[in-house]
Amino acid sequence: MAPVSLDTINPKVLKCEYAVRGEIVTLAQAVQEELKSKPGSRPFDEILYCNIGNPQSLGQQPITFFREVLALCDHPSILDKSETRGLFSADAIERARQILDQIPGRATGAYSHSQGIKGLRDAIAAGIEARDGFPADPNDIFLTDGASPAVHLMMQLLIRSEKDGILCPIPQYPLYSASIALHGGALVPYYLDEATGWGLEVSELKKQWADAKSKGITPRALVVINPGNPTGQVLAENNQKEIVDFCKKEGLVLLADEVYQENVYVPEKKFHSFKKVARSMGYGEKDISVVSFQSVSKGYYGECGKRGGYMEVTGFGPEIREQIYKLASVNLCSNISGQILASLVMSPPKVGDESYESYSAEKDGILSSLKRRAKQRLSNTASYTVCVVYAYYSLGISDAQLTLEDAFNKLDGVTCNKAEGAMYLFPCIRLPEKAIKAAEAAKTTPDNFYCRRLLNATGIVFVPGSGFGQVLGTWHFRCTILPQEDKIPAVVSRLTEFHKSFMEEFRE
């Protein structure tokens, strides 16, 4: 007798889905293996992973200063050697010393306080204060292995049963639906309005809140992802104020996913943390519960593999704080390199520091490249190379608007909002009835069917919209803007060719 079968495992695990690493990605890994063992077996020679916000996997380089400090903290015994001064910048050496001094016994190999090393939390709190102009308390900071475990922790704290609801945007980042499913709660969807650039309407929040209540569900918290994933929308400050008031009025914990706070690409929008917005409205600790999630994986740093992040927890009484601390303590602490990196991204080199210039150049290079990829015309940039010209001549594209967004909007039946921030586009695709029937026959959803075909034909990995949620009967996919600029023409060219033949195949 097998001790474990699908019939005998936790049904919440079965219910949980995580499309960002789901079927299409598993298929892509298999195709990649196939390419390795049988080169030339496919009409393409590499897999282009546009499924996940993983910048360094697509060629983005880490920020040198951050890596210098991490290396020195990993191996402090070289700090005093003369060769070290030849290899590392002086301020990285100085910063590593400062950080080591904040660690009891200078022991980067020891478990830390379960909230993270106090001195690093001090640096993070100071960074939040500088960003927001309102005080931040290091005792409110919980350092975590990326933002995901922090989200799980809050879901675990809040969800008692399927009668507890979490208001979540649709489309959403599937960490939320997965975590709510695993903890046995109810996802209460609120729909972002695609027609207004994925606008978040408070009237929609109220409607869905009332609808949940009428079904006997108690909404406990509201998830807002700002800048949005997968939508790329950046909330306007006034909109945020309405959201804060809604949470305050209905006694909802505001779970603010702010991991893309450095990724805003349009001049008319600016990132405002929800805590800052609440404080600017005069609401303090006793008025509203806000949890802000931040990660070292996004921004210009893109250090996904380091698994660093934190949550800032405000507006909870001491007895609840104690429970949050207990949950954090069961896993002892987050990894110390990730903790150090979280403190560095919140307190990077300053004007006058030896590394400041190179740091700024690296940061600006990454952010302006992301901005170009999200929005600007390639024709306006230095990247308008022979390769690009070739691609667009060969496709017969009549102008030089070769961003991904533009490319999507040029496809038959596809419309795509612009990415104001974050790292994704989430185009809508109207599929022919014949394709929808073919998907049905293949026992899958039409968006999945399209993405699977795309992968097999081109090696490009998109995530079907079903994984994020979408209005019934509409179909989308998520695509990161992360491929390096010199790869984008190839993505555009392969995608355009595929799409044309797909639409022809299924034309009514």
Q: By C-beta, is 61 or 380 nearer to its own copies? A: 61
User: Smallest distance from the beta carbon of 157 to its own copies, in angstroms?
Assistant: 6
Q: By C-beta, is 217 or 435 nearer to its own copies? A: 217
Q: By C-beta, is 2 or 472 nearer to its own copies? A: 2
Q: By C-beta, is 5 or 203 nearer to its own copies? A: 5
User: Smallest distance from the beta carbon of 380 to its own copies, in angstroms?
Assistant: 28
User: Smallest distance from the beta carbon of 198 to its own copies, in angstroms?
Assistant: 24
User: Smallest distance from the beta carbon of 174 to its own copies, in angstroms?
Assistant: 8
Q: What residue type is assigned to position 33 of the chain?
A: E
Our measurement of the distance from residue 412's CA atom to the centroid of its chain's CA atoms, rounded to an integer in Å, reads 29
Tell me the C-alpha distance between 394 and 247, whole Å.
53
CB 332 within 8 A of CB 114: yes
User: Smallest distance from the beta carbon of 312 to its own copies, in angstroms?
Assistant: 16
User: Smallest distance from the beta carbon of 141 to its own copies, in angstroms?
Assistant: 16
Q: By C-beta, is 235 or 291 nearer to its own copies? A: 291
User: Smallest distance from the beta carbon of 205 to its own copies, in angstroms?
Assistant: 15
User: Smallest distance from the beta carbon of 103 to its own copies, in angstroms?
Assistant: 9
Q: By C-beta, is 86 or 352 nearer to its own copies? A: 86
Tell me the C-alpha distance between 391 and 492, whole Å.
8
Assign residue 185 a region (left: φ > 0; alpha: ψ between -120 and 50; beta: otherwise): beta
- Taking CB atoms within 8 Å and a gap of at least 24, the contacts of 234-241 are 234/264, 234/266, 234/269, 234/270, 234/271, 234/420, 234/421, 235/200, 235/272, 236/269, 237/270, 237/272, 237/277, 239/199, 239/200, 239/202, 240/272, 240/274, 240/277, 241/277, 241/281
The candidate with the shortest Cα–Cα distance to 197, out of 168, 231, 174, is: 231
CB 219 within 8 A of CB 251: no
Q: By C-beta, is 93 or 407 nearer to its own copies? A: 93
CA atoms within 13 A on the CB side of 318: 0
- Collect all residues with Cβ–Cβ distance below 8 Å to 447 and sequence separation of at least 6: 429, 431, 464, 465, 466, 470, 475, 476, 477
User: Smallest distance from the beta carbon of 339 to its own copies, in angstroms?
Assistant: 9
Place of tokens 């805003």: 264
For residue 422, count other CB atoms closer than 10 A to its CB: 30
Tell me the C-alpha distance between 349 and 207, whole Å.
46
The candidate with the shortest Cα–Cα distance to 397, out of 382, 410, 415, 378, is: 410
User: What are the distances in angstroms from CA 368 to CA 161, 266, 362?
Assistant: 45, 11, 10
Q: By C-beta, is 81 or 430 nearer to its own copies? A: 81
Q: By C-beta, is 144 or 403 nearer to its own copies? A: 144
Tell me the C-alpha distance between 90 and 333, whole Å.
30
User: Smallest distance from the beta carbon of 1 to its own copies, in angstroms?
Assistant: 5
CB 345 within 8 A of CB 147: no
Q: By C-beta, is 99 or 411 nearer to its own copies? A: 99
φ/ψ of 141, rounded to 5, equals: -95, 130
User: Smallest distance from the beta carbon of 446 to its own copies, in angstroms?
Assistant: 23
Q: By C-beta, is 67 or 131 nearer to its own copies? A: 67
**Torsion sign (Cα): 197, 200, 202, 203:** positive
Q: Find the length of the chain.
A: 508
Cα angle: 156, vertex 290, 332; to 5 degrees: 45
The candidate with the shortest Cα–Cα distance to 503, out of 394, 387, 414, 376, is: 414
Q: By C-beta, is 114 or 470 nearer to its own copies? A: 114
User: Smallest distance from the beta carbon of 81 to its own copies, in angstroms?
Assistant: 6
